[in-house]
C-alpha cells in the first residue's frame, strides 16, 4: 500500500450521502490519505464545505463547472470571490470548457472560465480545469492569464496539447479512463510524461476504472489507477506514488502528511 492523494473527485456528491463514512474508511485503507474535492455550482458550495470539514485530509475547491452552466449567474463570480477570501480553499474549480455536451453556449462558458482565471490570479490560487473537446481553447485562455497555475483533470488531449500545457506550468491529471485497454492514445501518453508533470485522480463518483465498469467510482479505487500508471511506465509503483503525491501537495500547497490537517 502506498500513500496517495486523490487530486480530483466529487466526494460531496449525493451518490455518497448514504455511505460516505464507509467510503472514506475504504479510501484510507487503500492508502488515500487526502482528497481534493472539486465544486460544481454555487448552490452546492455549502454542502461541499460541510463534507470537507467532516473528515481529516479533505480539501475543498470552489468554482463554477461548465456543465452546470444553466445554474450559473454572473453574481456567482462575486460570491466566489467572497468564498475565496473567506475560506482560502485549495483551488478554484472545477472550471473550464465543455464543447462535448449539447446546449452549453461556448461564449457564456468562456465568460465564466475567464472570470475564474482572473480570480485565480487575484487570489493566488491554482485552477482545476475541465477540458472536454476544448483543450485548444483552454490553452488559449490559460495563455491570456499568464502565470496561472493549475491542472487539467482527466486529461484526454494529444501529446502536443500535453506538451503545451506543461510548458504553461499546467499539470495533467489521469484517472479511470486510462485503465481501459482501448484508450491507446492516453496509455501511450502516460508512458513518457515527465514525472513532475502529472497527478492521479478518481473523479469519483464518475469515470470508474475498468475493474468496476458502470458502477459508482470511489476514492479507494485510486490505487487501481496507480497500478495502471506504474505498469504502463514500467515503473515501481512506490516511485509513481511518491512523485504524484509530492506533485499534488506542491500544486495545492497542502500541508505535509506528518502535520495533521486543520480540517
For the CB of residue 61, give the shortest distance to Zn ion in the complex, in Å: 10
Which string of b and e fits 177-193 if b means at least 16 CB within 10 Å?
A: bbbeeebeebbebbeeb
For the CB of residue 204, give the shortest distance to Zn ion in the complex, in Å: 9
Residues 122-161 contacting Zn ion, CB under 5 A:
none
For the CB of residue 238, give the shortest distance to Zn ion in the complex, in Å: 27
Instruction: Count residues near Zn ion (CB under 5 A).
Output: 2
For the CB of residue 203, give the shortest distance to Zn ion in the complex, in Å: 5
Q: Which of 38, 170 has the CB closer to Zn ion?
A: 38
| Residue closest to Zn ion (Cβ) | 203
For the CB of residue 38, give the shortest distance to Zn ion in the complex, in Å: 5
Residues 37-66 contacting Zn ion, CB under 5 A:
38
Tell me, residue by residue from 13 to 42, as one string, x for binding to Zn ion by CB under 5 A and - for no binding: -------------------------x----
Q: Which of 6, 203 has the CB closer to Zn ion?
A: 203
Q: Which of 12, 203 has the CB closer to Zn ion?
A: 203
Tell me, residue by residue from 189 to 208, as one string, x for binding to Zn ion by CB under 5 A and - for no binding: --------------x-----
Q: What are the residues binding Zn ion (CB under 5 A)?
A: 38, 203
Amino acid at each position: 500500500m502506498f500513500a496517495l492523494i486523490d487530486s480530483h473527485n466529487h466526494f460531496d456528491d449525493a451518490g455518497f450521502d448514504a455511505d460516505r463514512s464507509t467510503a472514506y474508511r475504504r479510501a484510507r485503507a487503500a492508502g488515500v490519505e487526502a482528497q481534493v474535492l472539486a465544486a460544481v455550482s454555487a448552490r452546492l458550495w455549502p454542502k461541499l464545505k460541510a463534507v470537507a470539514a467532516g473528515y481529516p485530509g479533505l480539501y475543498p475547491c470552489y468554482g463554477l463547472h461548465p456543465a452546470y452552466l444553466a445554474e450559473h449567474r454572473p453574481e456567482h463570480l462575486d460570491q466566489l470571490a467572497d468564498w475565496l477570501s473567506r475560506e482560502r480553499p485549495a483551488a478554484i474549480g472545477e472550471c473550464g470548457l465543455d464543447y462535448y455536451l449539447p446546449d452549453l453556449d461556448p461564449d457564456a462558458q468562456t465568460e465564466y472560465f475567464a472570470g475564474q482565471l482572473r480570480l485565480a490570479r487575484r487570489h493566488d490560487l491554482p485552477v482545476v480545469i475541465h477540458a472536454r473537446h476544448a483543450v485548444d481553447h483552454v490553452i488559449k485562455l490559460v495563455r491570456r492569464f499568464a502565470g496561472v497555475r493549475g491542472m487539467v483533470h482527466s486529461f484526454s488531449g494529444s501529446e502536443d496539447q500535453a506538451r503545451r500545457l506543461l510548458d504553461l506550468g499546467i499539470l495533467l491529471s489521469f484517472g479511470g479512463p486510462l485503465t481501459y485497454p482501448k484508450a491507446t492514445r492516453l496509455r501511450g501518453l502516460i508512458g513518457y510524461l515527465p514525472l513532475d508533470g502529472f497527478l492521479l485522480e478518481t473523479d469519483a463518483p464518475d469515470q470508474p476504472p475498468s475493474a468496476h465498469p458502470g458502477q459508482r467510482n470511489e476514492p479507494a479505487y485510486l490505487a487501481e489507477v496507480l497500478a495502471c500508471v506504474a505498469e504502463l511506465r514500467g515503473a515501481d509503483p512506490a516511485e509513481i506514488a511518491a512523485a504524484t503525491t509530492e506533485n499534488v501537495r506542491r500544486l495545492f500547497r497542502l500541508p505535509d502528511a506528518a502535520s495533521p490537517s486543520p480540517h
